[in-house]
Structure 1
Amino acid sequence: MRLSVFHPQQVEPQLLIDLKKIYASAWPELQLTDLALNSLIAQKSPSLYVAMFNERHIAAALLSIEGNTANLSQFTVRDLTRRRGVGKYLLTQLELIAKAQGATTIATTLNEQEQPFSGFLVAMGYQEQHGKWCKTL
């Protein structure tokens, strides 16, 4: 099956199970309850996007667009599927989605726990500017 990226329109049991696995190492348990994840899926901004392969969600990120800038947050690839191109594909697709919605720049801010992600961002063409990692679309 082909890797795909999409914004889930409805809550499915497998999506909840997979989101708990994706964010298990990044979020506290309080944010991984079914109620919290249902709320996350339903919210309009930022919107949740997931990468799916073989009927399993293996990566996720939040994307919001404010004016000409797309803001990326909570970008996470499930531990078991890292270093296989999933993150690169997800980020590339999110950039295309942001550009199609009128964004000219995409940016993300990394917290201390996410600092190893900066090497990935550099490889994807991002530059640090005033504490944010940005890329012109």
Structure 2
Amino acid sequence: MKLTILRLTTLSQQDQIDLAKIWPNEDIAALEKSLNENSRIYAARFNERLLGALKLAIAGTQGKISQLEVREVTRRRGVGQYLLEETMAQNGSISDWWVADDGSADQSERAAFMQACGFRAQADGWVK
């Protein structure tokens, strides 16, 4: 089965379980209630399981990505990069992108990942 990047608008029971593994400190029920046109979740799905996810806040032509995470067992296989690239491609009206430096990954790993995705470092995140 192919890795698919999709916008989550409602969460199935399995989605809730998977997101709790991706973001263990997140209130998943509250997160689902907060979803709307300007507050979105994009996720990488493979074999009916979510492997990674990110939050996207939209304000006009600006997109702010936070909590970009990939499950530990799936890292270093291109899931995060594909998730980021496809989220940007699916939101073509956004011209200014910013990614928060709020992931749990090692900072040197995060820097290498963001640079590989074409982002430049800022004090509190990454821009493209």
TM-score by length of 1: 0.81
Per the TM alignment, residue 130 of structure 1 is displaced from its structure 2 partner at its CA by 4.8
TM-score by length of 2: 0.86
Q: CA 1:2–1:111 in structure 2 vs 1: closer, same or farther (change >3 Å)?
A: closer
Conserved? CA contact 1:98–1:106, under 8 Å: no
Q: Which amino acid aligns with 2:7?
A: H
| Structure 2: distance between partners of 1:54 and 1:3 | 8
1:49 match: 42
4+ residue runs of structure 1 moved beyond 6 angstroms?
none
- Whether 1:108 aligns to 2:103 is no
Q: Which amino acid aligns with 2:101?
A: L
2:9 match: secondary structure: coil
Q: CA 1:11–1:129 in structure 2 vs 1: closer, same or farther (change >3 Å)?
A: closer
2:126 match: 133
Identity of aligned residues (%): 32
Question: Greater helix percent: which structure?
Answer: 1
2:14 match: 14
| Structure 1: distance between partners of 2:117 and 2:18 | 26
> Gapped runs of 5+ residues in structure 1?
none
CA RMSD of aligned residues (A): 1.8
Aligned length: 124
2:87 match: 94
Q: CA 1:112–1:104 in structure 2 vs 1: closer, same or farther (change >3 Å)?
A: closer
| Structure 2: distance between partners of 1:72 and 1:78 | 17
| Structure 2: distance between partners of 1:111 and 1:63 | 13
CA deviations on 1:55-101 (whole Å, 9 max, x unpaired) are 111100001211221100010000010011111110111111232xx
1:66 match: 59
| Structure 1: distance between partners of 2:11 and 2:102 | 29
| Structure 1: distance between partners of 2:43 and 2:11 | 12
| Structure 1: distance between partners of 2:74 and 2:16 | 18
Conserved? CA contact 1:7–1:48, under 8 Å: yes
| Structure 1: distance between partners of 2:17 and 2:2 | 21
